[in-house]
């Protein structure tokens, strides 16, 4: 896996955004966000754009 999880974790902590809030905003479940944060799975390219827009 790449470094997407650690980068996402840092952004969530810096801006005080919970995994649940990001999941609701994106219309996905928190388990997906958790997998990304823990580097179990990398988000797809189009999802990365959606994360940055959220």
Give yes or no for a contact between 7 and 45, defined as CB atoms under 8 angstroms apart: no
| Residue-range domain boundaries for the chain | 4-53
9 contact partners, CB below 8 Å, separation of at least 6: 37
In tens, the pLDDT along 11-52 reads: 999 999 999 999 999 899 999 999 999 989 887 766 776 777
Amino acid 29: pLDDT: 92
Q: What is the rounded distance in angstroms from the CA atom of residue 28 to the CA atom of residue 14?
A: 21
Would you give the distance in Å from CA 22 to the centre of its chain?
7
Amino acid 19: pLDDT: 95
34 contact partners, CB below 8 Å, separation of at least 6: 19
């Amino acid at each position: 896996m790449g470094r997407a999880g650690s980068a996402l974790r840092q952004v969530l902590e810096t801006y005080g955004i919970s995994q649940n809030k990001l999941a609701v905003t994106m219309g996905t479940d928190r388990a997906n966000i958790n997998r990304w944060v823990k580097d179990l799975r990398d988000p797809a390219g189009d999802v990365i754009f959606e994360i940055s827009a959220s």
